[in-house]
Structure 1
Amino acid sequence: MTRHLMACALIACLLAAPARAQAPTDPELRRLAAAIENGLRPSVAKPGVEVPSWTLQQRMAHYKVPGVAIAIVKDGRLAYAAGYGVREAGGADAVDADTLFSVGSVSKMITAATSLRLVAQGRLELDRDVNGYLKSWRIPQAPGIADPKVSLRMLLSHTSGLSVHGFEDYLPGEPLPSLVQTLDGVAPAKNQPIRLQRTPGARSEYSGGGIMVAQQLIEDVAGQPLDAVARGQVFEPLGMRRSTFQDPLQAGRDNIAKAHDRNGALAALPRGWESFPEQAASGLWTSAHDLGAFVGALIRSYRGEGGLLPQSLTIEMMTEVSPGTRGLGPELLGSGRARRFTHNGDNENYHAVIEGYPETGYGFAILTNGKNAKGLRGEIRNAISDALADGVKPLIRPIALELGAPVQAAYAGSYRLDPALPMDVRGALADGFDYPSLQVRVADGTLVVDLPGGPTAASLLPLSPSRFAAPGLNVELEFHRNAHGAVHAVSASVGSARAYYRRETASAASLGRGL
């Protein structure tokens, strides 16, 4: 069968497949389930254009994603979990609430909870130098960093200064590295050595490498592999009977969602899924039922209603560690009733997310088995936000405003990052939007921004005469015009994080480009 015919067959299968779940009896949950199945929408809509509303099956077919599993948490407890589609394209085995998915970096949340259980038991301290615990491997000294001390708090909040953002997947048959080989970047590990590259605690910088150090810490202190420690500390107390850090996942396990490439074809043959030897950072296999139970337990712990962790320690977990915006594991967003903890997970052909709202008690988990599923995950997320009416994922609708050539020309130019802005203010932008300069220009009547060494040019969508969304970059840009009418700076923001770029003169811009 040609790749085109395979894709067509997959689309036909998805459009024909009914939802694989019995409707919940609770009216609120029925409304949420209906939104998930019939209320997906885009994140951005053009002015004056009706916002489309899609079914989950339509968008699964659009993105060529065979299977999705979703859990909903209400009042801090798993209330509903369901599967949609199939485990393997062209097959008849339905996804259900117990189907196993790889969940990528959502693994870091289980690793964080496991280590915090050890803290609660007095076996670890949050702020002690981890080299005082490590036995099998130690963080090496680094040139230019005198007497570095890395703590568990730093490892979990991505402020440790350690290198290696993420890790590659391993195909069936490829040799797998040991934990120490991963830490030292020695073959068959595919990553560079995990080493200090900045002063610990000075900057927020996402480090899967730091989480692998946390795995070594857990194993050295507990005297057991991570899977055994997580099983005793998290999986068994919460009834997460399907979850495992076992790697590679053994084919003897049943009900596994297989990996699919961007064309919707089965990947990682002959087995049908990759290996993820970096267990603590990206190696968790779990189900919607289990992840929903985990999110609910964290909400209850935060509210002092039992769960998994002492309330005081859960509050520390859910408090930003400066200069970043992450807590001890989760990304933290919003305030008041919209206060939430979240974590995405992205392996090669699996995408997942969890999110919890301690004030309202709601939460959810989304698991998928297709390479294109990031877009689908976002659209499901939009539907849940609309149904909860929480306002945290509003539709981005640019204003219908013709700025005109003179105004656009006033914004065009070169801007350079002001390094005097404290890291506490830059927060997550010091990692996710770490560019020393921006170039704004006009192309086909639209403002676009170019980033040095970054992604391709991003179009700016006007939200006001001076504020623009850049959805592809996950930031908003605001141009600053002074009392003399001159545009002298632009700031980038996401959540509470903010970076400030001063406009360069023509001569300064030329010097900055080495001209």
Structure 2
Amino acid sequence: MRLILLLAFLRALPALAQTPDFSILDGLAQRAMQDSGTPGAAIAVIHHGQVVYEKAFGVSDVETQARVTPQTLFRIGSTTKMFTAAAVLTLVEEGRVDLDKPIATYVPALPAKIGTLTLRQLLSHTAGLGDRGSGHGRHDDSALGDAIRALPPEIVELDPGAVYSYSSLGYWIAGLVLESVSGKPFADAVAERVFQPLGMTRTTFRPLTAMTYPFAQQHEGSAKQVPRLLRPFADDSSTWPGGSLFSSAHELSRFALAFLQQGKLDGKQVLPAAVIAAMTQPHAAIPGGSEHYTYGLVASDDRGVFTLSHGGARVGFGSLIVLAPQQQAAVLVVTNRSGSTLSSVVQKALELALPLGPEEPQPPAPSAIPEETLKSYTGTYAGGGWRIAITQEAGHLVLTFEGKSYPAQPAPGVRFTTEGPLSDFVFVPGPDGAIRYLHVELRTLRKIL
């Protein structure tokens, strides 16, 4: 028996030697929280298909000083989209919806232009929709359908299917399709199709359910500002599908584990493998680089490693999930400060968990751009309530936004930068090669003049 135990131990040594020491993240997290004015956070790391690090830091409420735990619920913002996508895709797998049929097939009484959109377009941010944010509103289940049916036709700003333009609104509409076809309120449909099979027993869209568990309050803060609790608590049930889920680092890890194992968890197939496959495949090119949007996730090449990720930033909260399917690895962060994702901690965790290659040097910015090319960029671009003018002056471009002008400089690749609020933008051609769009801050604006 002793010999058998010794042999088993010796076989385990190589695996043990390959497990990085993630305890270095403790100090990094505490410093990053202090530097960013983040009151509380929870972090989980999956390495070779196992949760190897799960820790919480700080407080869930600066007034009560209640401590965060890995089970504390946080609102995760737009990271929600991967869960809405997963739930909708279970309907596709069951043959109850078609990704390429007009959604009016499934939802009655939609505005005509909304009804012609498809789930493929909605889930990949290619529906051409303007964007809407989350804030204060109604709290009942009927709010989602009422809000979508009241949308004006001009909310479809771009030709559907033509170009990527991030829109939480598209996920609200996809959530209404889920609600209509399943015959259940959106929050209940996702719980039945995703959270319950995964054993995510506390994860919920409903604030009145979340508050029955330990949960984090929403805060503002910065390096120069003491974190303060925000009141009243923001909620609008019509926006739940795009960015309002409550979950914890512990329960988000269960989703990540199932995703990395093609839908299997604890030895059971809890999500269809086809759902995971659909969420892994690139579906829409994001202008300005090599990234693509899948369904609810961004596909990237991180120094030679294929990753899928999504972040969330909303009033009082921030989150980030990064998945590396080929390495069976993931990093998850949730925080209770607006937009905080502790990105430096996430990066260090990825360096420990993944075989990242060396940092590739940035290509040099173009030293000169032909006059004719600059001229093709000029014009007025509009969408999402924004109107941006691009003019040409003395051999360079100038961006004018909200009455102020900012000189633009070429950046590596095809980007331009300014010192203004819209610091990074890309010109996007149409099928004929002529410039038709301006991509800025994840959104795409149409050239109108």
Q: TM-score, normalised by structure 2?
A: 0.74
1:141 aligns with 2:113: yes
Q: How does 1:24-423 map to 2 (within 5 A)?
A: 31-34=21-24, 36-38=25-27, 55-135=28-108, 137-141=109-113, 149-163=116-130, 165-170=131-136, 175-176=138-139, 178-185=143-150, 195-246=155-206, 248-250=207-209, 252-262=211-221, 263-269=225-231, 273-277=233-237, 278-301=239-262, 308-322=270-284, 324=286, 325-334=292-301, 338-371=305-338, 373=340, 377-388=342-353, 390-391=355-356, 394=359, 415-417=374-376
> For residues 166-196 of structure 1, what are the alpha-carbon distances to aligned partners after superposition, in whole Å with 9 as ceiling and x for unaligned?
31312xxx6557113321458xxxxx77843
What is the CA–CA distance in structure 2 between the aligned matches of 1:321 and 1:352, rounded to whole Å? Answer: 23
What is the CA–CA distance in structure 2 between the aligned matches of 1:395 and 1:169, rounded to whole Å? Answer: 40
What is the CA–CA distance in structure 2 between the aligned matches of 1:180 and 1:463, rounded to whole Å? Answer: 44
What is the CA–CA distance in structure 2 between the aligned matches of 1:59 and 1:222, rounded to whole Å? Answer: 43
DSSP-derived class of the 2:21 partner: helix
- The structural deviation recorded for 1:343 is 0.9
DSSP-derived class of the 1:261 partner: strand
Q: Residues 385, 75 of structure 1: CA spacing in aligned structure 2 closer, same or farther, 3 A cutoff?
A: closer
Figure out how many residues of one structure are paired with residues of the other and give that number. 401
> For residues 373-417 of structure 1, what are the alpha-carbon distances to aligned partners after superposition, in whole Å with 9 as ceiling and x for unaligned?
2xx522222222332354489498999xxx9xxx97x57989245
The answer (yes or no) to whether the contact 1:139–1:195 under 8 Å persists in 2 is no
Q: Residues 389, 232 of structure 1: CA spacing in aligned structure 2 closer, same or farther, 3 A cutoff?
A: closer
DSSP-derived class of the 1:153 partner: helix
What is the CA–CA distance in structure 2 between the aligned matches of 1:267 and 1:462, rounded to whole Å? Answer: 39
What is the CA–CA distance in structure 2 between the aligned matches of 1:416 and 1:298, rounded to whole Å? Answer: 47
Q: Which residue of 2 aligns with 1:49?
A: none
DSSP-derived class of the 1:214 partner: helix
> For residues 136-162 of structure 1, what are the alpha-carbon distances to aligned partners after superposition, in whole Å with 9 as ceiling and x for unaligned?
x424238xxxxx732211111111223
- The structural deviation recorded for 1:106 is 0.9
> For residues 196-218 of structure 1, what are the alpha-carbon distances to aligned partners after superposition, in whole Å with 9 as ceiling and x for unaligned?
33332122111211111111111
The answer (yes or no) to whether the contact 2:377–2:390 under 8 Å persists in 1 is no
What is the CA–CA distance in structure 1 between the aligned matches of 2:271 and 2:210, rounded to whole Å? Answer: 33
Amino acid at match of 1:103: I
DSSP-derived class of the 1:234 partner: helix
- In structure 1, the gaps of 5 or more residues are 1-24, 39-54, 143-147, 187-191, 420-429, 443-447, 478-490, 493-497, 502-511
The answer (yes or no) to whether the contact 1:261–1:370 under 8 Å persists in 2 is yes
DSSP-derived class of the 2:57 partner: strand
Q: Residues 463, 417 of structure 1: CA spacing in aligned structure 2 closer, same or farther, 3 A cutoff?
A: closer
Quote the sequence identity (%). Answer: 23
The answer (yes or no) to whether the contact 1:319–1:327 under 8 Å persists in 2 is yes
Q: Residues 141, 166 of structure 1: CA spacing in aligned structure 2 closer, same or farther, 3 A cutoff?
A: closer
Q: Residues 377, 58 of structure 1: CA spacing in aligned structure 2 closer, same or farther, 3 A cutoff?
A: closer
The answer (yes or no) to whether the contact 2:322–2:332 under 8 Å persists in 1 is yes
Q: Residues 440, 86 of structure 1: CA spacing in aligned structure 2 closer, same or farther, 3 A cutoff?
A: farther
Whichever structure has more strand as a proportion of its residues is 2
Q: Residues 385, 60 of structure 1: CA spacing in aligned structure 2 closer, same or farther, 3 A cutoff?
A: same
What is the CA–CA distance in structure 1 between the aligned matches of 2:355 and 2:91, rounded to whole Å? Answer: 35
What is the CA–CA distance in structure 2 between the aligned matches of 1:154 and 1:291, rounded to whole Å? Answer: 26
The answer (yes or no) to whether the contact 1:183–1:193 under 8 Å persists in 2 is no
1:453 aligns with 2:401: yes
> For residues 35-68 of structure 1, what are the alpha-carbon distances to aligned partners after superposition, in whole Å with 9 as ceiling and x for unaligned?
x223xxxxxxxxxxxxxxxx32222112111001
Q: Which residue of 1 aligns with 2:10?
A: none
DSSP-derived class of the 1:339 partner: strand
- The structural deviation recorded for 1:73 is 1.7
DSSP-derived class of the 1:296 partner: helix
Moved more, 115-124 or 350-359: 115-124
What is the CA–CA distance in structure 2 between the aligned matches of 1:456 and 1:62, rounded to whole Å? Answer: 32
DSSP-derived class of the 2:342 partner: helix
Q: Which residue of 2 aligns with 1:507?
A: none
What is the CA–CA distance in structure 2 between the aligned matches of 1:231 and 1:37, rounded to whole Å? Answer: 33
- The structural deviation recorded for 1:77 is 4.3
